[in-house]
């Protein structure tokens, strides 16, 4: 399987975050992608660099003013005071109900709050470069599948970070700045970045992260060309709390093209795979020409901030089931914070997928 990787991800290395009221070492660290990369190399997988500039498709996925803010945020922060170079900025005010969000404040902290859904995106000097490299990988993955003729069983893995599925059109949150899965799906629809101009009429986007991909849902909620399906912890008790309920089924042209499958904390592998079967059946009915997978690996039983009970062999089974869909597939690395097991679990998914497609061929 083709794997896209950039060492630029290491430039986003926040020292700490605020977790449940405490200042703690950051969970989302460069070690995550490096451990996956090392496991891939040990198993004989070859890594490539991205070759497509994602700027055009980023402008379709995110708003112009959000992108402008994010690209310049660190420079604006340090320009306020050179001493800020040694600090991580966090928002302290948000435009909640009854407050205006249409007017961008001049104050940096106010702007940071305007574009943040929470305080879970600590900025550092290399944040934009790392996030942009991830988006470039997503756009490159789509181009590779399109140029390959969208053959069933073809797949590309984006071994990138920071993750992206909590990022909406005009906000960051939950460690996510740019929505890589949305970039991949939109690029497949566009045909953008590929030698061919022909894009996909229908794309399916499956999110298997423990936490609901609220940003991805919101981006495609009123569209019928991109089906969004998510298996995740029940938002009544689990982050991101305010989206991911089963009654959210799309709106307008997108009505019926959003499927949430929330599960209670502590769900077993058998419960989880029952939900996966529902997801796969819906994807098959969609008639998708390609699949994008937000590959969160925090469903692992040992994850420090999540509460499902999957074991390493279950990730092989996941890959096998996705391979049975027979679709050209892009895997995007999302969450997963049990760092020691992350590489094994990621590669198990990919090799399970490959084994199935080889057998069927």
Residue 276 CA from chain centroid, whole number: 18
User: Do residues 189 and 225 make contact, with C-beta atoms less than 8 angstroms apart?
Assistant: yes
User: What are the tens digits of pLDDT across the range 273-284?
Assistant: 999 999 999 999
Q: Are strands 2-5 and 155-159 parallel, antiparallel or unpaired?
A: parallel
User: Do residues 177 and 164 make contact, with C-beta atoms less than 8 angstroms apart?
Assistant: yes
User: Do residues 169 and 61 make contact, with C-beta atoms less than 8 angstroms apart?
Assistant: yes
How many beta carbons lie within 10 A of that of residue 149, not counting itself?
10
pLDDT for the residue numbered 357: 73
Instruction: Classify 2-62+125-360 by CATH class.
Output: alpha beta
How many beta carbons lie within 10 A of that of residue 59, not counting itself?
11
pLDDT for the residue numbered 185: 98
pLDDT for the residue numbered 20: 82
Which residue is it, tokens 């009915």? 285
Is 44 strand, coil or helix? coil
pLDDT confidence band for 100 (50 / 70 / 90): very high
Please compute the mean of the pLDDT values over residues 60-79 and round it to a whole number. Answer: 98
Q: Are strands 47-48 and 2-5 parallel, antiparallel or unpaired?
A: parallel
Distance CA 117, CA 241 (A): 11
Residues in the chain: 361
Distance CA 194, CA 208 (A): 27
Distance CA 211, CA 299 (A): 9
Domain boundaries, the chain: 2-62+125-360
pLDDT confidence band for 46 (50 / 70 / 90): confident
Query: What would the 3-class secondary structure string for 127-174 be?
Result: HHHHHHHHHHHHHHHHHHHHHCCCCCCCEEEEECCCCCCCCECCEEEC
Distance CA 38, CA 354 (A): 19
User: What are the tens digits of pLDDT across the range 306-346?
Assistant: 999 999 999 999 999 999 999 999 999 999 998 889 999 99
Counting residues of the chain whose pLDDT is more than 70, the rounded percentage is 98
pLDDT for the residue numbered 19: 86
pTM for the model: 0.97
pLDDT for the residue numbered 6: 96
CA nearest to 171, candidates 59, 273, 69 = 69
- Give yes or no for residue 254 having a pLDDT over 70: yes
User: Do residues 253 and 222 make contact, with C-beta atoms less than 8 angstroms apart?
Assistant: yes
Q: For all residues of the chain together, what is the average pLDDT?
A: 96
Distance CA 201, CA 43 (A): 35
β-bridge partners, 261? 231
State how far the alpha carbon of 149 is from the alpha carbons of 2, 196, 205, 262, 314, in Å. 15, 9, 19, 35, 31
User: What are the tens digits of pLDDT across the range 121-150?
Assistant: 999 999 999 999 999 999 999 999 999 999
Q: Is the peptide bond before 199 cis (omega within 30 degrees of 0)?
A: no
Residue 210 tokens read as 């423990």
Active site amino acids: 166
User: Do residues 1 and 154 make contact, with C-beta atoms less than 8 angstroms apart?
Assistant: no
- Give yes or no for residue 358 having a pLDDT over 70: no
pLDDT for the residue numbered 356: 87
Distance CA 158, CA 65 (A): 27
User: What are the tens digits of pLDDT across the range 182-217?
Assistant: 999 999 999 966 666 589 999 999 999 999 999 999
- The residues, ordered by sequence, that sit 6+ positions from 45 with a Cβ below 8 Å of its Cβ are 1, 3, 347, 350
Is 116 strand, coil or helix? strand
How many beta carbons lie within 10 A of that of residue 275, not counting itself?
18
CA nearest to 231, candidates 254, 211, 258, 205 = 211
Distance CA 186, CA 3 (A): 20
């Amino acid at each position: 399987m083709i794997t896209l990787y950039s060492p630029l991800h290491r430039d986003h290395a926040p020292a700490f975050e605020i977790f449940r009221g405490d200042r703690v070492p950051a969970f989302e660290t460069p070690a995550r992608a490096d451990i996956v990369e090392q496991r891939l190399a040990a198993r004989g997988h070859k890594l490539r660099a991205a070759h497509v500039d994602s700027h055009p498709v980023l402008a379709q996925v995110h708003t112009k003013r959000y992108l402008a803010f994010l690209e310049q945020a660190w420079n604006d922060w340090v320009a306020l005071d050179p001493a800020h170079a040694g600090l991580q900025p966090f928002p302290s005010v948000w435009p909640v109900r009854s407050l205006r969000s249409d007017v961008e404040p001049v104050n940096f902290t106010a702007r940071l709050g305007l574009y943040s859904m929470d305080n879970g995106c600590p900025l550092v000097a290399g944040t934009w470069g790392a996030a942009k490299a991830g988006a470039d990988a997503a756009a490159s993955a789509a181009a590779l599948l399109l140029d390959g003729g969208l053959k069933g069983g073809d797949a590309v893995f984006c071994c990138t970070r920071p993750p992206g599925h909590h990022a909406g059109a005009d906000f960051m949150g939950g460690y996510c700045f740019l929505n890589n899965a949305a970039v991949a799906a939109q690029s497949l629809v566009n045909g953008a970045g590929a030698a061919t101009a022909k894009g996909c009429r229908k794309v399916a986007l499956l999110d298997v992260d423990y936490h609901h991909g609220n940003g991805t849902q919101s981006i495609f909620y009123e569209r019928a060309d991109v089906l969004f399906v998510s298996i995740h912890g029940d938002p009544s008790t689990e982050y991101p709390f305010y989206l991911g309920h089963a009654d959210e089924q799309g709106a307008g042209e997108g009505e019926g093209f959003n499927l949430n499958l929330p599960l209670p904390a502590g769900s077993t592998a058998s419960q989880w795979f029952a939900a996966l079967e529902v997801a796969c059946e819906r994807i098959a009915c969609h008639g998708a020409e390609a699949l994008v997978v937000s590959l969160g690996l925090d469903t692992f039983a040992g994850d420090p901030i999540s509460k499902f009970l999957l074991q390493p062999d279950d990730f092989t089974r996941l890959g096998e089931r996705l391979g049975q869909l027979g679709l050209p597939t892009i895997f995007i690395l999302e969450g997963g914070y049990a760092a020691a097991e992350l590489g094994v679990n990621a590669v198990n998914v990919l090799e399970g997928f490959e084994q199935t497609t080889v057998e069927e061929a």
